[in-house]
Amino acid sequence: MNSTLKAGLHPRNRFNTRYDFPQLIACSPALAAFVKPNAYGDDSIDYADPLAVKALNQALLKQTYGLNHWDIPPGYLCPPIPGRSDYIHHLADLIAQRRGPSVRVLDIGTGANCIYPLIGASEYGWSFVGAEVDPAALRWAKKIVAANPSVAGLIDCRLQKSATQCFHGIIQPGEHFDLTLCNPPFHGSAAAAAEGTQRKLRNLGGKTVGLNFGGKANELWCEGGELGFIRRMIEESAVFAGQCGWFTTLVSKSEHLPRLEQALRRVKAATIKVIDMAQGQKKSRILAWSFATPELRHPA
């Protein structure tokens, strides 16, 4: 049963088989309280319960990467680890699977959970700058990093002072990154973010009381929604063209792609790629672009 592959995940994704709950509980006993048989009689957790997902994440990060200290403040986004992990492996493919701390990656909106730097540093030994606009989330991310010795020297968290900027104020003069990544806030208003939260809960069969399904409304929205955020990022990326090998971002709505590709042509990106991702029924995609020639993207 545990060898059943989860459809669509990257071949190197370590979370692409069914979870072995007894083993996970042995590693992280607090998970036991949340595991019960599902409709098919298999061990499972209630994925609509952020506390259960948090306990699962703690067990997965501990068992897989030896990250013994991971937590999120109440109400903050609780990331599904398999999907986040997929983005990291696709990024590795973009840079020919280079490893080690000389590979420098910038995570825009690292969140309180700091999940991409934790996975990227653990899987590939990359070093990260995590940029975050919410000071409370940033403090939390720094605390997680400091508490986990295997990654503490690899991750630097920096405050972005302007919600409408991604790279200005973060990338320093003369600094170079091989990759930038981003899981953008995707709603256009706080109200839409709250409604999205309710919808997600209903789809999972959960209760709709309380506005926080793993994600504060203000964590999930920005002026102009996903399209506005990424268009601003594209425009700004042209200014930092010489300092980043690849710029990338998740795009949750495929209908946004034509306008984003148009924006990329306007700023004269040399290469544009759309990398499809899937986890079961859930489809997503990475938009990647570069201003550099292949030789410049991989400095010796």
x/- mask, ligand SAH, residues 220-249, rule CB under 6 A, reads: --x---------------------------
Region near ligand SAH per CB under 6 A, out of 46-54, 59-67, 130-138, 189-197: 130-138
Nearer to ligand SAH by C-beta: 185 or 245?
A: 185
Enter the tokens of residue 134.
């919410």
Query: Is 134 among the residues that bind ligand SAH (CB under 6 A)?
Result: yes
**Beta partners for residue 17, in sequence order:** 5
Which CB atom, from 224 or from 292, has the smaller least distance to ligand SAH? 224
Q: Is 5 helix (H, G, I), strand (E, B) or coil?
A: strand
Q: Which residue is nearest to ligand SAH (CB)?
A: 109
| Count of residues engaged in binding ligand SAH, rule: CB under 6 A | 23
* 108 binds ligand SAH, rule: CB under 6 A: yes
Contact 250, 186 (CB under 8 A): no
* Stretch in the footprint of ligand SAH (CB under 6 A) among 27-35, 59-67, 107-115, 205-213: 107-115
Query: What three-state secondary structure class fits 256?
Result: helix
* Closest CA relative to residue 242, chosen from 278, 291, 279, 205: 291
Residue 76's contacts (CB-CB under 8 Å, 6 or more residues apart) are 111, 112, 113, 137, 140, 214, 215, 216, 219
Q: Which of 81, 131, 287, 288 binds ligand SAH (CB under 6 A)?
A: 131
> Residues 219, 279, 287, 288: which binds ligand SAH (CB under 6 A)?
219
Regarding 133 and contact with ligand SAH (CB under 6 A), the answer is yes
d(CA 116, CA 293): 26
CA 266, 179, 214, 44 dihedral sign is: positive
The burial of 196, by beta-carbon neighbours within 10 Å (0-12 exposed, 13-18 middle, 19 or more buried), is given as middle
Name residues contacting ligand SAH, limited to 28-87 (CB under 6 A). Answer: 77, 79, 84
Read off the tokens for 111: 């969140």
CA pair distance 145, 165, nearest whole angstrom: 24
CB atoms within 10 A of CB 193: 22
CB of 114 to ligand SAH, least distance (A): 8
Least Å from the CB of residue 299 to ligand SAH: 26
Q: Does 185 bind ligand SAH (CB under 6 A)?
A: yes
Instruction: Tell me how far, at minimum, the Cβ of 177 lies from ligand SAH, in Å.
Output: 15
Give me the residues that bind ligand SAH (CB under 6 A), please.
77, 79, 84, 108-111, 113, 115-116, 131-134, 137, 160, 163, 165-166, 183, 185, 219, 222
